[in-house]
């Protein structure tokens, strides 16, 4: 049966051996993480394929029937790139990216819908709910770098959080990267992460997981992540020959709009530290 179907498909083609270019994908791709601790909320928008630019781009953010922010920027494609690259990383790998930096601060627990339009593209939208506020209750880190002999932390629950993601961050490395690109030669920012649904953990951080950090203050970051952003960042595969796309929540397009709440605790400068609140 499969062979008959294949023969029927080949017979329907004028020249089965001719190489044909696929039609361009006329859809937009979104990426946005709402952060209630930030004064502005950048939306990274780009064409789903490299065949066209986004012209007459406009976007808005709604909470129920209320429009809380709206933008229709000029056609200068470099407009507010810093807002997106500063929040989401470099944009060198994207074709014709645009950045809409909305001037508003989301509320904890509130639900927002983000909409975008561009000439010649179908409108796209996505909805997300900001997790609830929380605080870190206690942290104990031992070893040099901190955590390599033990790391324990407890925090209050964030309403609506799908997962908690815990990471160690070297402030010395961050400052070094601002001064010189040489710091990034051997740096892998996601060497050590812990994902949990609980609000407490106790572990030992592998030395190789934090060995590339620079001397200086260390921070423990706890992210309370909404489901859409967590799944978009942790699913999918680029393995060939059949890449698998990540889980997405944009209607009429591609990508994800999500939210998180981040709380951090200073672990000091490569010394045993303990914090209680």
Q: Band of the pLDDT at 2, cuts 50, 70, 90?
A: very low
pLDDT beyond 50 at 4: no
Residue 12's pLDDT is 44
Residue 247's pLDDT is 94
- For residue 217, the enclosing domain spans 136-225+260-276
- Residue appearing with tokens 């979104």: 30
Domain stop point among 104, 129, 154? 129
Rounded to 5°, angle at Cα 181 from 192 and 210: 20
Residue 59's pLDDT is 95
Residue 213's pLDDT is 56
Q: Band of the pLDDT at 260, cuts 50, 70, 90?
A: very high
pLDDT digits over 164-209, tens only? Answer: 999 888 765 555 544 555 555 444 444 588 999 999 999 998 887 6
Alpha-carbon distance of 268 to 150, in angstroms, equals: 15
Q: Both 46 and 168 in a single domain?
A: no
Tokens found for residue 101: 């930096």
Residue 244 carries which DSSP code?
B
Residue 244 lies inside a defined structural domain of this protein: no
Q: Both 142 and 272 in a single domain?
A: yes
pLDDT digits over 19-45, tens only? Answer: 455 555 689 999 999 999 999 999 999
**Cβ(196)–Cβ(166) below 8 Å:** yes
Alpha-carbon distance of 237 to 69, in angstroms, equals: 34
Residue 196 lies inside a defined structural domain of this protein: yes
Q: Band of the pLDDT at 131, cuts 50, 70, 90?
A: very high
Q: Both 104 and 181 in a single domain?
A: no
Domain stop point among 114, 129, 144? 129
Q: Both 171 and 71 in a single domain?
A: no
Domain stop point among 129, 151, 170? 129
């Amino acid at each position: 049966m499969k062979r008959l179907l294949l023969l029927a498909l080949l017979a329907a083609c004028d020249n089965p051996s001719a190489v044909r270019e696929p039609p361009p994908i006329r859809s937009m791709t979104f990426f946005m993480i709402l952060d209630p601790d930030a004064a502005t909320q950048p939306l990274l928008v780009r064409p789903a394929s490299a065949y066209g630019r986004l012209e007459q781009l406009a976007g808005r953010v709604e909470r129920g029937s209320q429009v809380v922010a709206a933008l229709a920027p000029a056609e200068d494609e470099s407009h507010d790139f810093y807002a997106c690259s500063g929040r989401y990383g470099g944009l060198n790998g994207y074709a014709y990216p645009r950045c809409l930096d909305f001037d508003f601060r989301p509320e904890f627990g509130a639900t927002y819908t983000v909409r975008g339009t561009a000439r010649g593209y179908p409108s796209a939208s996505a909805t997300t709910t900001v997790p609830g506020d929380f605080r870190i209750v206690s942290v104990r880190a031992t070893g040099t770098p901190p955590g390599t002999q033990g790391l324990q932390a407890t925090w209050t629950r964030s309403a609506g959080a799908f997962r908690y993601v815990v990471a160690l961050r070297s402030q010395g490395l961050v400052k070094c990267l601002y001064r010189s690109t040489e710091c990034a030669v051997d740096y892998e920012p996601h060497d050590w992460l812990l994902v949990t649904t609980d609000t407490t953990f106790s572990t030992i951080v592998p030395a190789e997981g934090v060995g590339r950090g620079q001397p200086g203050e260390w921070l423990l970051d706890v992210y309370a992540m909404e489901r859409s952003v967590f799944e978009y960042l942790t699913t999918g595969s680029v393995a060939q020959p059949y890449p698998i796309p990540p889980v997405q929540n944009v209607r009429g397009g591609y990508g994800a709009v999500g939210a998180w709440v981040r709380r951090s605790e200073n672990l000091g400068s490569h010394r045993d530290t303990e914090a209680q609140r």
